[in-house]
């Protein structure tokens, strides 16, 4: 098969510019030219003539506001015109496209796609196998009683991966596309008016100014985590690599004050294009990428890889990173399944291959979207291997969303990078480790991730004004959480390193898949963005609360599993809770030894040491999910200095007679009369107590916690003999899908009945107690309180910088952030920071350029 000639300029215009300047598809009945060139010329003519009658013209009074954007477009058109007519032939079909090569390319492409049905997105966590190997009952014993099996060894989980996000915002390609996007959006006057704070901050120097923060942030992790740091993952942006894109690189080369870096970038890109034009080997794309790196061992400052249609893309990398080092995996190497590649410690990922990795991000209609239709036509004409509908949608999804300048969209990609551990911490390039820490400060298999909160709450609000920061997305995300789990304010997570459990975060993305699809279209921060860190922590906490209430109200108290409380089941429920139709049940504070034994021993650290893990070195663990729910609305607080519950023995002695909460008659009011004559729907009761009147659910949690004794959650669990309804032979359990409850964005739309949960998880005929135990353990977590104001330092001028750095040196916070808000004394601050960083984190890492480590 001989490949047809076509213009790479057209490909670049369609793929990299069309998302910025949306074009309509052909008019109804209009047929695209059958040739690739015809298709491309149609797109280009639409792009550059701006044919789009539905868009308003920019009023004269707004010309000043869009001047920078219009100039950027002029530059972009100029750079395209320099090589817009260039066409070249790829010679005879490269050998990698023969039958053997096709099979390998198809296998590689399949490895890039992890699309799944919603239920299939809920995977077992990697630590579960450790409990299974020790003994089948180990997990149940831990959850029910807070006891460990003898010999349980979790030392293999003594490391945690970290992922950093970074963008070189001064890259000419990034600047041009960013300004072109602004100019296009500014045509919509209502958008411009509503997003004025965003527009004012788009080109703020503080967003793109470099003090080598990324390097020192990563160094800080190695210094203070030591053997606790696993792999390092870097997520950066990328661009389609074509001759016309090269013209942009040439502009960058000519305008850089220091030509060394630019010339290296130009040489790297040129080499990539040469290889793309004359590819002759049987090589897998990862081998081609490796060959490119080898050919530029001392020169490469960009990461060339091939997308699923085998088109070259150029990924940004920091100048200090040595891509040729034996410990670095980049390009297509990160998708390799070879043990050699998987063991590499520093892994570079890019937006193109990280976005739209799950079905949650795809829409079944996206490939029919006019603004992506042309790009797909080109890609399909160019492709030589069979492709699936999912892969077409995946490609269209990426074209529609990239380039993005929205940090919320970038954060939504977290957890889908190949080789990233189930549990990982996420760091911006302006956050640092400041003190020695261990795995016990971040996440463990026993207690789950550790969330760091401030005491400030975020109220739910679907229509919070967009002021350019993160608060609009926080309020919107709080509203989404409330719509799913009940309306209340929820705590703000400190701007520090944040811990994610990838499979649980993926669940959240499936739950809000419609909202995720919409928010990922926002090129800049918008008020209806999903805030990944907030969603991640609050979803995790609320799923644990939901699991506890479901285990008790549904799995335990619906004894026959028919979905209704019979009169006897209803009466048993009321009696266990001490409630009735007309009287309230007073619940006092429970005595718990989850964090501190009766003798004052640190139970948390002791349990970690027993299983081969290090206890916390820097964090003061204030709460764990083994004690229920942290945001209970107490009637009388036993410690007004903290919003977190305190149940340890020393505190309990002073508060054991205090009324913590009351289970009031209103909790059961709608069911009182009905219960006299008919069975009560379990789903209705569960939703009322868990979500509609969440104060009732909170108090029930506290009541059952008290019944569980000093440790464990036995008061919530069903009996050992109870099984999930259904025929075990008809619905054999699937090892790949973990126990979970409905993945819906509104609790009103969910069925929590045993039969429906069983059908979704294929758990028929198996133990209810085992299901409930695994469900609860899946969402384990712990909480510590942030170091407070000392942990976030804003740098604005020489005085504030001196003061901030002195504060960090004096207070020695375990984690801290340096926020670039510099408006004066830039040269002084750059020099001060450079010296301070190099003194605080002097040890070069082995994957740095010029390192002898």
In Å, what is the CA distance from 149 to each residue of 47, 152, 595, 609, 708? 66, 6, 18, 13, 19
656 shares its domain with 548:
yes
Q: Quick count: other Cβ atoms within 10 Å of Cβ 709?
A: 17
Residue 749 sits in the same domain as residue 661: yes
Are 557 and 705 found together in one domain?
Answer: yes
600 torsion bin: left (phi>0), alpha (psi -120 to 50), beta (else): left
Burial label, 197 (beta-carbon count in 10 A; 0-12, 13-18, 19+) = middle
Report the pLDDT value the prediction gives residue 606, as an integer from 0 to 100: 95
Does the pTM surpass 0.75? The reply is yes
Does residue 192 sit within a domain?
Answer: no
In a domain, 704, yes or no: yes
Note whether 707 and 575 are same-domain residues. Answer: yes
How confident is the model over 717-741, as a mean pLDDT?
A: 78
Task: Give mean pLDDT, residues 336-357.
Answer: 86
DSSP 510-543: HHTHHHHHHHTT-SS--TT---HHHHHHHHHHHH
Asked if residue 571 and residue 698 are part of one domain, the reply reads yes
Name the nearest CA neighbour of 385 among 784, 773, 1, 792: 1
For the residues 674-686, what does the mean pLDDT come to? 90
Residue 565 phi/psi, 5-degree rounding, is -85, 115
**What pLDDT sits at residue 123?**
74
Distance CA 107, CA 102 (A): 9
Instruction: Report whether pLDDT(717) > 70.
Output: yes
CB 810 within 8 A of CB 783: no
Per cent of the chain over pLDDT 70 is 70
- Among 239, 237, 253, 246, residue whose Cα is nearest residue 277: 246
Average of per-residue pLDDT values in the chain: 76
Mean pLDDT to the nearest integer, 826-830: 83
pLDDT tens figures, 348-370? 999 998 888 765 555 443 334 44
Confidence of residue 554 (pLDDT cuts 50, 70, 90): very high
In degrees, rounded to 5, the angle at the alpha carbon of residue 759 between the alpha carbons of residues 757 and 762 is: 100
794 shares its domain with 701: no
- Beta-strand runs (E) in 268-325: 302-306, 312-316
Structural domain for 803, as ranges: 790-831
Q: How confident is the model at residue 501 (pLDDT cuts 50, 70, 90)?
A: very high
Under a CB-based contact definition with an 8 Å cutoff, are residues 707 and 713 in contact?
no
Our count of domains for the chain comes to 2
Is residue 682 situated within a structural domain?
yes
* Residues in the chain, total: 853
Task: Extract long-range pairs of 638-644: CB within 8 Å, 24+ residues apart.
Answer: 638/589, 642/785, 643/455, 643/491, 644/783, 644/785
What is the 3-class SS of 550-566, one letter each residue? Answer: HHHHHHHCCCCCCCEEC
Closest by Cα among 645, 752, 654, 646 to 698: 645
Q: Are residues 713 and 772 in the same domain?
A: yes
d(CA 317, CA 303): 7
Q: Are residues 730 and 826 in the same domain?
A: no
User: What pLDDT is stored for residue 461 in this prediction?
Assistant: 85
pLDDT digits (tens, 9 = 90+) for 572-624: 999 999 987 788 899 998 999 999 988 889 999 999 999 999 999 988 899 99
| Residues 739 and 823 placed together within one structural domain of the fold | no
The predicted structure's pLDDT at residue 735: 53
Instruction: Assess if residue 578 is contained within a domain.
Output: yes
Kindly state whether residue 811 falls inside one of the protein's structural domains: yes
Structure tokens at 240: 């389609």
Distance between CA 820 and CA 818 in Å, rounded?
6
DSSP at 625? G
Evaluate whether residue 653 is within a structural domain: yes
The predicted structure's pLDDT at residue 240: 83
Q: What is the pLDDT of residue 22?
A: 26
In a shared domain, residues 682 and 749: yes
Work out whether the CA dihedral 216, 200, 77, 256 comes out positive or negative: negative
Q: How far is CA 3 from the centre of its chain?
A: 40
pLDDT higher than 80, residue 134: no
The answer as to whether 635 is a domain residue is: yes
More confident residue, 672 or 205: 672
Residues 776, 810, single domain; the answer is no
- The 8-class DSSP code of residue 320 comes to T
The percent of residues in the chain predicted with pLDDT above 90, rounded, is 39
Do 573 and 701 reside in the same domain of the chain? Answer: yes
Half-sphere exposure in the Cβ direction for 23 (13 Å, CA): 26
For 111-117, what is the mean pLDDT? 41
Q: Does some domain include residue 362?
A: no
């Amino acid at each position: 098969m001989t490949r047809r000639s076509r213009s790479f300029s057209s490909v670049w215009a369609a793929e990299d510019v069309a998302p910025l300047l949306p074009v309509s598809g052909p008019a109804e009945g209009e047929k695209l030219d059958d040739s690739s060139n015809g298709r491309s010329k149609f797109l280009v003519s639409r792009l550059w003539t701006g044919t789009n009658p539905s868009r308003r013209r920019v009023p004269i009074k707004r010309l000043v506001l869009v001047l920078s954007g219009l100039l950027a477009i002029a530059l972009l058109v100029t750079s395209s015109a320099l090589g817009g007519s260039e066409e070249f032939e790829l010679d005879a079909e490269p050998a990698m496209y023969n039958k053997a090569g096709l099979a390998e390319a198809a296998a590689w492409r399949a490895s890039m796609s992890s699309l799944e049905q919603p239920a299939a997105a809920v995977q077992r966590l990697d630590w579960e196998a450790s409990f299974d190997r020790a003994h089948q009952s180990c997990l149940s014993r831990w959850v029910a009683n807070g006891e460990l099996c003898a010999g349980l060894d979790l030392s293999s989980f003594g490391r945690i991966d970290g992922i950093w996000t970074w963008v070189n915002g001064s890259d000419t390609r990034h600047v041009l596309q960013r300004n072109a996007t602004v100019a296009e959006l500014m045509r919509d006057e209502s958008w411009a008016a509503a997003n004025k704070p965003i527009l004012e901050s788009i080109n703020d120097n503080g967003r793109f100014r470099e003090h080598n923060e990324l390097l020192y942030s990563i160094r800080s992790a190695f210094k203070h985590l030591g053997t606790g740091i696993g792999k390092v993952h870097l997520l950066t942006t990328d661009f389609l690599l074509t001759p016309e894109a090269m013209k942009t690189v040439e502009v960058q080369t000519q305008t850089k004050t220091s030509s060394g870096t630019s010339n290296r970038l130009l040489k790297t890109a040129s080499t990539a294009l040469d290889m793309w034009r004359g590819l002759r080997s049987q090589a897998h794309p990862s081998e081609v990428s490796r060959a490119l790196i080898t050919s530029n061992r001392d020169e490469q400052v960009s990461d060339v890889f091939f997308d699923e249609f085998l088109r070259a893309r150029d990924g940004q990398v920091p100048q200090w990173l040595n891509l040729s080092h034996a410990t670095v995996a980049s390009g297509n190497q990160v998708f390799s399944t070879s043990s050699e590649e998987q063991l590499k410690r520093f892994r570079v990922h890019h937006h193109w291959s990280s976005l739209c990795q799950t079905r949650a991000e795809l829409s079944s209609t996206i490939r029919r979207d006019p603004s992506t239709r042309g790009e797909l036509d080109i890609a399909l004409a160019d492709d030589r291997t069979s492709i699936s509908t999912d892969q077409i949608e995946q490609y269209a999804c990426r074209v529609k969303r990239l380039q993005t300048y929205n940090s919320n969209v970038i954060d939504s990609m977290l957890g889908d990078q190949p080789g990233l551990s189930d549990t990982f911490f996420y760091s911006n390039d302006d956050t640092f480790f400041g003190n020695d820490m261990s795995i016990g400060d971040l996440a463990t298999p026993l207690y789950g991730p550790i969330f760091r909160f401030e005491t400030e709450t975020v109220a739910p609000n679907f229509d919070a004004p967009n002021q350019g920061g993160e608060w609009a997305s926080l309020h919107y995300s709080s509203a989404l959480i409330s719509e799913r789990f009940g309306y209340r304010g929820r705590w703000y997570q400190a701007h520090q390193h944040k811990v994610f459990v990838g499979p649980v975060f993926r669940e959240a993305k499936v739950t809000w898949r419609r909202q995720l699809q919409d928010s990922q279209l926002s090129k800049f921060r918008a008020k209806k963005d999903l805030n990944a860190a907030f969603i991640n922590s609050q979803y995790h906490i609320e799923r644990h609360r939901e699991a506890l209430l479901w285990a008790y109200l549904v799995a335990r108290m619906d004894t026959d599993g028919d979905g209704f409380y019979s009169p006897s089941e209803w009466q048993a429920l009321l009696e266990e809770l001490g409630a009735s139709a007309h009287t309230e049940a007073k619940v006092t504070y429970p005595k718990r030894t989850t964090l501190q034994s009766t003798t004052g021993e640190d139970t948390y650290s002791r349990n970690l040491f027993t299983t081969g893990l290090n206890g916390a070195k820097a964090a003061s663990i204030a709460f764990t999910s083994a004690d229920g729910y942290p945001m209970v609305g107490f009637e009388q607080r036993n410690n007004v200095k903290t919003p977190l519950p305190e149940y340890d023995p020393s505190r309990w002695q002073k508060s054991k007679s205090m009324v913590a909460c009351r289970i009031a008659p209103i909790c059961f009011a709608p069911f009182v009369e009905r219960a006299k004559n008919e069975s009560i729907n379990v789903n209705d009761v569960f939703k009322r107590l868990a979500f509609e009147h969440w104060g009732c659910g909170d108090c029930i949690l506290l009541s059952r916690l008290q019944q569980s004794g000093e440790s464990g959650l036995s008061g919530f669990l069903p009996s050992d003999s109870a099984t999930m309804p259904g025929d075990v032979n008809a619905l054999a359990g699937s090892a790949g899908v973990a126990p979970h409850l409905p993945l819906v964005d509104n609790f009103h739309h969910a069925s929590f009945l045993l039969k429906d949960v069983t059908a979704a998880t294929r758990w028929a005929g198996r133990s209810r107690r085992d299901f409930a135990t695994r469900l609860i353990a899946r969402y384990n977590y712990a909480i510590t309180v942030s170091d407070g104001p000392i942990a976030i330092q804003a740098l604005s001028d020489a005085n504030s910088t001196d003061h901030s750095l002195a504060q960090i040196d004096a207070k020695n916070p375990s984690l801290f952030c340096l926020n670039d808000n510099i408006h004066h004394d830039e040269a002084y601050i750059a020099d001060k920071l450079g010296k301070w960083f190099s003194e605080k984190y002097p040890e070069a890492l082995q994957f740095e350029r010029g390192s002898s480590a």
